[in-house]
Amino acid sequence: MSNFVFVIDTNKQPLDPILPGQARRLLKSGKAAVWRRYPFAIILKHVVSDPKIEPIQLKIDPGSKTTGLVLVQGNKAIWGAELTHRGQQIKNDLESRRAIRRNRRNRNTRYRQPRFLNRTRPDGWLALPVETGTGGRTKYNRVRLSLPKAHWLDAACVGIVENLHILTSQPLLIAAKGWGNRQMSTPNKYGFPTKHRTRCKAFFGFQTGEMVRAILPKGKFAGTHIGRLTVRESGVFEMRTAHGKVSPVRHKYCKSIHRNDGYMYAFSTNERVNQ
C-alpha cells in the first residue's frame, strides 16, 4: 500500500494523515484539492473546528549515502521515505574546481607566495561534541520483528520498539540534486573552456529540476512518463525517471506537476512487508 496522505483544512491547519483510498474519494467528490505532489498532500475545502490529532513521531536512520525516514503514529508506520545524499558528487565537484583553479593560478600567478596556511582560529577554539550510536538496537528490533533490510525500515526500528505495524510498502524515494551551479563555461580535461552556457534558466515555461508528466505519442519512449526535467533552449528536453533516461522529450508534450526544489522524487515498488 502507498504512503498515507497528508491533510490540511482550508485554513492550512494540519490534520491526521488519511489512507490513499479516502484521499481519492475526497478528491473525486470535490471536497478536497491537491495541495502538494511530493510528499502528496491535499487541502480540504472546509474548516475543521477543534480537530483531534493523534501525535506523530518522526524517526530517522542517518547514513552516509542514504537516510531512512519514517512517520510513526502510535505503533503504526504510516509514511516512509529514503533520502539519497549528493555528498560524493559535491566532493567530486570541489576537487574538479580545485584542479581548474590550481591550473589557472599556475599560468597567471606562477610566483605568488602560497596562501594555504593563512586560516587561523581564535585561542581556546574547540570542536562541538558529537555523540554517535552503534545501531545495534536498530538491527535487533528489525530482526525481532522479521523485517527486511531497508533504510526506511531501519528508521522505523530506531529506539525502543515493542511492536510495530507497517501500513505502507511504497516509500517515497528522494534524491538530492541541488539547484544547479554558477559555472558559465565547461572546460575540457586540460582546463580550457570549450562550452558556454546561457544566463536564461527557463525555456518554454519549464526549468531544469521540475517534475513533469510527459505523454509521448510516438517513438521509442511512447507512453506516459513522470520524472525530473532537463531543459534545452531548442525545446527538446531530457527526462530522468526511476527507470532511466527518456530522450527526446518535446516541450509541447510536458505538463509540470511539481516545481524545482532541489530534489528528484520517485516511488519504490520493491518492498514487500508482511505484517
The number of distinct structural domains making up the chain is 3
pLDDT tens column, 1-60: 789 999 999 999 999 999 999 999 999 999 999 999 999 999 999 999 988 889 999 999
Alpha carbons 167 and 146: distance in angstroms, whole number: 15
Please report the pLDDT score of residue 200 as a whole number: 83
Please report the pLDDT score of residue 126 as a whole number: 63
Report the percent of the chain where pLDDT is more than 90: 58
Please report the pLDDT score of residue 130 as a whole number: 45
Owning domain of residue 38: 1-51
Report the percent of the chain where pLDDT is more than 70: 93
Please report the pLDDT score of residue 189 as a whole number: 77
Residue 131 has pLDDT above 50, yes or no: no
pLDDT tens column, 137-148: 899 999 999 999
82, 151: one domain: yes
264 in Cβ contact with 138 (< 8 Å): no
Alpha carbons 57 and 25: distance in angstroms, whole number: 27
Task: List the strands of the sheet with 14-18, edge to edge.
Answer: 14-18, 5-8, 41-44, 32-36
Residue 213 has pLDDT above 80, yes or no: yes
The distance in angstroms from the start CA to the end CA of the chain is 12
167, 34: one domain: no
59, 168: one domain: yes
Task: Please report where in the chains the cell 542514504 appears, as a residue.
Answer: 66
Please report the pLDDT score of residue 122 as a whole number: 73
Please report the pLDDT score of residue 270 as a whole number: 62
Kindly report the CATH number assigned to the domain that includes residue 206.
2.30.30
User: Would the CA dihedral through 264, 268, 273, 275 be positive or negative?
Assistant: positive
Please report the pLDDT score of residue 149 as a whole number: 93
173, 65: one domain: yes
92, 161: one domain: yes
Residue at 186 is within a domain: no
217 membership: H or E segment, kind and range: none
70, 38: one domain: no
DSSP string, 25-76: HHHHTTSEEEEETTTTEEEESS---S------EEEEE--SSEEEEEEEETTE
Alpha carbons 196 and 194: distance in angstroms, whole number: 7
31, 80: one domain: no
Residue at 72 is within a domain: yes
Residue 204 has pLDDT above 60, yes or no: yes
Residue bearing the bigger pLDDT, 273 or 92: 92
147, 275: one domain: yes
Residue at 2 is within a domain: yes
Please report the pLDDT score of residue 272 as a whole number: 58
72, 167: one domain: yes
Q: Which three cell numbers stand for residue 118?
A: 593563512
89, 154: one domain: yes
Beta bridge partners of 246: 239
Residue at 125 is within a domain: no
141, 211: one domain: no
Residue bearing the bigger pLDDT, 114 or 90: 90
pTM over 0.75: yes
139, 62: one domain: yes
Among candidate residues 203, 199, 205, the one with its CA nearest the CA of residue 180: 199
DSSP letter, residue 251: G
Residue at 191 is within a domain: no
Mean pLDDT of 187-193: 78
149 in Cβ contact with 142 (< 8 Å): yes
pLDDT tens column, 87-98: 888 888 888 888
